[in-house]
Chains A and B, each alone.
Chain A
């Protein structure tokens, strides 16, 4: 904590977390305060460290996949997708279009679920207690689709290396389209509650400002980066699966404040609905598995593959020594990198804003600590 106080006597060191309702898990933040103003902060992480990367070295490629679900546990589908794709890249297999579009539909549904959860808890942190019940109601519908598809709601392990284990169940397409039609008016409803709400604007506009230069310097990605006005979305920049065949826009903010990040995420939800609709249209019958052997033994080499997870760039760096187990798996989690920007985002703001900024960063501690 580098900065000194305006008046040394007023300096107050307080501890927030790890058991604090607004830190979204077991995050501990040491705050240095001048009255109620934040002079500096230090994040203490590791309360949820499970050594996931080390575990990978003692598991086969296929065995490690379920562990990825447990990092960002509110976006298990995209987490698994990133890993599975990285290994596929290492193997050099092509996966059939039906599997690709299925993955995209589920991944976008997961993005919606993650953003819905974020919206509810973020609003709750700022004292609006109603949105959280609405967003959980909608999220439930998504989880039901997951459950029908793969039997799990939270830690789905939805994909396999090379494709899908299960084909889609009958009526999946209709259910997805029905959900899209159901969700759009609900998003309008959330906006009615918050977007032009005077108090919401007062609490979020100009709070936790992150300039585009700072955002890039800190390696921040995802909606936080786009809220600062940098148009960077892996789905557009380095398209994976079949995102290059799909039409959608990348919403960006201007000021890089909490309000802009809120708007960006809300817009992203609308775009996700758009993507789901297009993907469902292209779901033609066909094979769901690429040419992958029973035993996965990639050639010696290394690969870095990143996808656009709901929270930002999720990257997997996988090194193969030619055996059945990965030599090393390194995860680049969006939450961990985004959390680094917390300090510069809250400096100079009030204690009540810390809660708002932690909420707007949309971190999941399972992913930060791994």
Chain B
């Protein structure tokens, strides 16, 4: 039977691709839902409060409840809206956000496709996402969404220039646009790009914040000011789509940053043999999670919650045991390190939101055009010159 199914897969390669796409799509949707939960929790703990606690143990089912609520809400279309475009706009945002994952290598052995213009594809597709915002704001036929959309678009376009130029610096080092190749190149060099391109990294990070409309650049959603943003007129499921797109974009930006600058699926200091024990990090982290969950559970006063947490802890221990099998351990190395790095980025996104005030609109544009773009340009030129002389010597 196994032999037979492998034959089928080889005869029809698109089946495997479809399965991968399905896995990525489903897992990602789940991750995005729980990213919202994580944001609310982390932010709460930073702000001396608890966050969602009511739905499920420690509010763990909150994303489910939110999802159901949004699905069941009435889908309102404003009377003067351009109906077709109004309905189309959110799907553009979501589709472009998810399409990017087609070329992101989650591990050396797990990616949907590796095309030789990977990075160009990402930049192109994520630029298309702006249409979702502009069209959504315009078709609502209302003042504030229009203003919000204009602001968003201006913000995205100007910061995209800086982000793009920062990424070109990396391209000069890796001689390739393929995302897989960029990571492989970092493995060969034995050093992550972040150490070779620190300026580009910082610029990309800031531009990434701006592109995802996150604090301190969350002007399009500034509640205390004029505009409530391009999705003011959206409700129910279509609003959820914009929401989904926004958080997916956060994951996208993190994934790109990790791939381009932080060695993608490579473990830290992959070339240092002395640190080989880090291979067991997945086992250790699962065991740590189990211990933490057990501690939480034993502290809990509700019997049901206690059982749930103990069961969860046991599951974690079993998973840790399964992961300890050498074959499995090798298989998940890449995906583990990749997810860990992405998680660090996402945490940082939330952290910034808890720390910074918001920029004013003109200041935001000034930062973009007066600082980010010139710095990115300078970085690009310096990199190119250094690169030229180094390769000329070699």
Mark A residues whose CB is within 8 Å of B.
14, 21-22, 36, 123-130, 133-134, 137, 193-194, 197, 199-200, 202-203, 350-353, 355
Give me 13 A-to-B residue pairs in the complex whose CB atoms sit less than 8 angstroms apart, sorted by A's number.
A22-B224, A22-B225, A36-B362, A126-B358, A128-B357, A130-B355, A200-B357, A202-B360, A203-B358, A203-B360, A203-B363, A350-B361, A351-B226
Are A125 and B47 also in contact (CB < 8 A) when A199-B357, A350-B361 are? no
Interface digits, B22-49 against A, CB 8 Å rule (1 contact, 0 not)? 0000000000000000000001001111
Closest 6 CB pairs of A and B: A127-B358, A133-B47, A128-B357, A22-B224, A126-B357, A127-B357
State which residues 349-379 of B face A: CB under 8 Å.
353-363
Are A199 and B359 also in contact (CB < 8 A) when A21-B223, A130-B354 are? yes
Interface digits, B200-235 against A, CB 8 Å rule (1 contact, 0 not)? 000000000000000110100011111000000000
- What is the chain A residue whose CB lies nearest that of B361? A352
| Residues of the A chain whose Cβ atoms lie less than 8 Å from the Cβ of B225 | 22, 351-352, 355
Are A350 and B362 also in contact (CB < 8 A) when A22-B224, A127-B222 are? yes
| Residues of the B chain whose Cβ atoms lie less than 8 Å from the Cβ of A199 | 216, 356-359
CA distance A124 to B215 in the complex (A): 13
Contact across chains for A129 and B47 when beta carbons are under 8 A apart: yes
- What is the chain B residue whose CB lies nearest that of A133? B47
Q: How far is the CB of A114 from chain B (nearest CB, A)?
A: 20
How many A-B contacts if CB must be within 8 Å? 70
CA distance A352 to B224 in the complex (A): 8
| Residues of the B chain whose Cβ atoms lie less than 8 Å from the Cβ of A128 | 355-358
Q: How far is the CB of B225 from chain A (nearest CB, A)?
A: 5
| Residues of the B chain whose Cβ atoms lie less than 8 Å from the Cβ of A352 | 222, 225, 360-361
Other 12 A-B pairs with CB < 8 A, given A129-B353, A130-B354, A350-B361 = A14-B226, A125-B224, A126-B357, A127-B222, A127-B224, A128-B355, A129-B47, A130-B47, A193-B355, A197-B357, A202-B363, A355-B225
Are A134 and B47 also in contact (CB < 8 A) when A127-B216, A199-B216, A352-B225 are? yes
- What is the chain B residue whose CB lies nearest that of A352? B360
| Residues of the B chain whose Cβ atoms lie less than 8 Å from the Cβ of A14 | 226
CA distance A134 to B355 in the complex (A): 12
Q: How far is the CB of B227 from chain A (nearest CB, A)?
A: 10
Q: How far is the CB of A326 from chain B (nearest CB, A)?
A: 41
| Residues of the A chain whose Cβ atoms lie less than 8 Å from the Cβ of B356 | 127-128, 197, 199
Interface secondary structure of B, over-half rule: loop
Q: How far is the CB of B228 from chain A (nearest CB, A)?
A: 11
CA distance A291 to B359 in the complex (A): 58
CA distance A203 to B219 in the complex (A): 13
CA distance A134 to B360 in the complex (A): 24
| Residues of the A chain whose Cβ atoms lie less than 8 Å from the Cβ of B47 | 129-130, 133-134
Interface secondary structure of A, over-half rule: helix
CA distance A353 to B224 in the complex (A): 11
Q: How far is the CB of A298 from chain B (nearest CB, A)?
A: 47
| Residues of the B chain whose Cβ atoms lie less than 8 Å from the Cβ of A194 | 357
| Residues of the B chain whose Cβ atoms lie less than 8 Å from the Cβ of A124 | 224
- Interchain CB contact (< 8 A) of A36 among B215, B353, B354, B361: B361
Contact across chains for B48 and A133 when beta carbons are under 8 A apart: yes
Are A130 and B46 also in contact (CB < 8 A) when A22-B225, A124-B224, A351-B226 are? yes
CA distance A193 to B225 in the complex (A): 22
Q: How far is the CB of B297 from chain A (nearest CB, A)?
A: 27
Contact across chains for A127 and B361 when beta carbons are under 8 A apart: no
- What is the chain B residue whose CB lies nearest that of A136? B48
CA distance A36 to B362 in the complex (A): 10
CA distance A1 to B13 in the complex (A): 72
| Residues of the A chain whose Cβ atoms lie less than 8 Å from the Cβ of B355 | 128, 130, 193
Q: How far is the CB of B229 from chain A (nearest CB, A)?
A: 14
- What is the chain A residue whose CB lies nearest that of B362? A350
Q: How far is the CB of A257 from chain B (nearest CB, A)?
A: 14
- Interchain CB contact (< 8 A) of B215 among A21, A22, A127, A350: A127
Q: How far is the CB of B70 from chain A (nearest CB, A)?
A: 23
Of A130, A134, A353, chain B has the most CB atoms within 10 Å of the CB of: A130
CA distance A126 to B357 in the complex (A): 6
Q: How far is the CB of A121 from chain B (nearest CB, A)?
A: 10
| Residues of the B chain whose Cβ atoms lie less than 8 Å from the Cβ of A130 | 46-47, 354-355
Q: How far is the CB of A141 from chain B (nearest CB, A)?
A: 13
Contact across chains for A203 and B359 when beta carbons are under 8 A apart: yes
| Residues of the A chain whose Cβ atoms lie less than 8 Å from the Cβ of B362 | 36, 350
| Residues of the A chain whose Cβ atoms lie less than 8 Å from the Cβ of B222 | 127, 352
CA distance A307 to B252 in the complex (A): 58
- Interchain CB contact (< 8 A) of B48 among A137, A200, A353: A137
CA distance A202 to B216 in the complex (A): 12
Q: How far is the CB of B322 from chain A (nearest CB, A)?
A: 40
Q: How far is the CB of B52 from chain A (nearest CB, A)?
A: 16
| Residues of the B chain whose Cβ atoms lie less than 8 Å from the Cβ of A203 | 357-360, 363
- What is the chain B residue whose CB lies nearest that of A202? B363
| Residues of the A chain whose Cβ atoms lie less than 8 Å from the Cβ of B43 | 129
CA distance A137 to B48 in the complex (A): 8
Contact across chains for B224 and A123 when beta carbons are under 8 A apart: no
CA distance A129 to B43 in the complex (A): 10
| Residues of the A chain whose Cβ atoms lie less than 8 Å from the Cβ of B224 | 21-22, 124-127, 355
Q: How far is the CB of B371 from chain A (nearest CB, A)?
A: 11
- What is the chain B residue whose CB lies nearest that of A121? B224
| Residues of the A chain whose Cβ atoms lie less than 8 Å from the Cβ of B223 | 21
- Interchain CB contact (< 8 A) of B354 among A22, A125, A129, A353: A129
Q: How far is the CB of A115 from chain B (nearest CB, A)?
A: 18
| Residues of the A chain whose Cβ atoms lie less than 8 Å from the Cβ of B48 | 133-134, 137
CA distance A125 to B218 in the complex (A): 13
| Residues of the A chain whose Cβ atoms lie less than 8 Å from the Cβ of B360 | 202-203, 350, 352-353
Q: How far is the CB of B15 from chain A (nearest CB, A)?
A: 48
Q: How far is the CB of A155 from chain B (nearest CB, A)?
A: 26
| Residues of the B chain whose Cβ atoms lie less than 8 Å from the Cβ of A137 | 48
Q: How far is the CB of B151 from chain A (nearest CB, A)?
A: 11
CA distance A355 to B361 in the complex (A): 14
Of A124, A127, A128, A353, chain B has the most CB atoms within 10 Å of the CB of: A127
Q: How far is the CB of A139 from chain B (nearest CB, A)?
A: 12
Q: How far is the CB of A340 from chain B (nearest CB, A)?
A: 23
- What is the chain A residue whose CB lies nearest that of B143? A14
Of B222, B357, B360, chain A has the most CB atoms within 10 Å of the CB of: B357
CA distance A202 to B46 in the complex (A): 24
Q: How far is the CB of A36 from chain B (nearest CB, A)?
A: 7
State which residues 120-166 of B face A: CB under 8 Å.
none
Q: How far is the CB of A295 from chain B (nearest CB, A)?
A: 49
